[in-house]
Amino acid sequence: MTMENETARIGALADTLAAAANARTQTTQPSANGQGLTVEQAYAVQCELIARCGYRVSGFKMGMTSQAKMRQMNVHEPIFGFMAPSGVLHDGATVPRSAFGQPRVEAELAFILKAPLSWPVTTAEAMQAVGGVCLAIEVLDSRYSDFKFSLPDVIADNTSAVGFVLGSEVRSPQSVDVANLGLVLEINGRPQSIASSAAVLGHPARSLALLVEMIHRYYDEQTCAQLRLRRHGTHVLDAGTVILTGGITQAFAVDAGDTVRVAGDGLGEVVLTIGPADGEAPAPVYA
Ligand code: OOG
Ligand code: MG
């Protein structure tokens, strides 16, 4: 494939995925027509989606960082993506069913940085830069039917990202057991999964360090410059950046009327309700 052809193909894939996301519909996996992407090309599609958000993001996310997730999705390597500004949901909110195509929810631990973090970074340095820890519910919405995808497919689809809710109780990492924090995910009051943050690569700070490493490896220069991820010759996550460290539990399908609650040791709870199917036209995911 020539350079021009490859650039055109990546742009066209980003258009297709963004249109599916905005319409809450599904499209064909790039791997399904025998024209699979490489991991590098898949992150190039993600960079095109970032451009379609006007180079504004509300955070970053890691995925496939626990055995529960890898087994469920049959994708066995960590991946990362970004949260679009449209993805910010509020603790206790009711979100219209029409905001999602085929929503699934999972429980995560989120970090908020208090200091910038620059590549290269150790797990210990990553942990030092964390100022706040809170619970999160991630809502996933694959742009492929039934969440069927290969590793590059899901990367190109921005790791199924659509929305996230942070818990209102933000604690310093010294005051909770970040390495082994127990939590429960309930739907309509029924526990679906009980798990520990240790499921995230043995320690969620590894996921944060890996994010810095992967941004360095996979995001192109222009995207990093626009997002202010590259400064003074290195890659930097700024203080204030929100990072979802990856699903601790497997993901569970939800539908109109469902209430999701995640409660964790020392971090209170975070709650999200999927509203009735009211026909309200959803705002674009990528705009
Ligand atoms: C891909 C997103 C993975 C996680 O936390 O593992 C992810 C998917 O499962 O559809 O967000
Ligand atoms: Mg997730």
- Are 40 and 71 in contact, with CB atoms under 8 Å apart? no
Q: Which atom of ligand 1 is nearest to the CA of 246?
A: 5
Ligand nearest the Cα of residue 164 is 2
**DSSP secondary structure letter of residue 238:** P
Could you tell me the two tokens for 53? 């958000």
Q: What angle do CA 61, 62, 66 make, to 5 degrees?
A: 140
From the CA of 68, how far away is ligand 1's center (Å)?
Answer: 10
Which helix (H) or strand (E) segment holds residue 209: the answer is helix 204-218
Protein residue whose Cα sits closest to atom 3 of ligand 1: 63
> Beta strand 259-264 with 268-274: parallel, antiparallel or unpaired?
antiparallel
Per residue, the 3-state secondary structure of 30-49, as one string, reads HHHHCCCCCHHHHHHHHHHH
Q: Which atom of ligand 1 is nearest to the CA of 72?
A: 9
pLDDT number for residue 237: 97
From the CA of 244, how far away is ligand 2's center (Å)?
Answer: 7
Answering whether pTM is above 0.95, one says yes
From the CA of 160, how far away is ligand 1's center (Å)?
Answer: 6
Q: Reduced to 3 states, what is the DSSP secondary structure of residue 272?
A: strand
Q: Which atom of ligand 1 is nearest to the CA of 79?
A: 3
DSSP 97-129: GGG-SS-EEEEEEEEEESS-EESS--HHHHHHT
Residues framing ligand 1 (Cβ under 6 A): 61, 63-64, 69, 73, 106, 138, 140, 142, 147, 154, 159-160, 246-247, 251
From the CA of 163, how far away is ligand 2's center (Å)?
Answer: 10
Per-residue pLDDT of the chain (287 residues; tens, 9 = 90+): 688 899 999 999 999 999 999 999 999 999 998 878 999 999 999 999 999 999 999 999 999 999 999 999 999 999 999 999 999 999 999 999 999 999 999 999 999 999 999 999 999 999 999 999 999 999 999 999 999 999 999 999 999 999 999 999 999 999 999 999 999 999 999 999 999 999 999 999 999 999 999 999 999 999 999 999 998 889 899 999 999 999 999 999 999 999 999 999 999 999 999 999 877 788 899 98
Burial of 47 (0-12, 13-18, 19+ CB in 10 A): buried
- Rounded to 10 degrees, the C-alpha dihedral 252/68/145/277 comes to 10
The span from the CA of 158 to the CA of 81, in Å, is 5
Q: Which atom of ligand 1 is nearest to the CA of 106?
A: 5
Pocket test for ligand 1, best of 26, 71, 106 (most atoms within 8 A of CB): 106
What is each CA distance from 113 to 88, 132, 179, 240, in whole angstroms?
17, 7, 17, 5
Amino acid at 79: I
How far out from the chain centre does Cα 29 lie?
A: 19
Q: Which atom of ligand 1 is nearest to the CA of 149?
A: 10
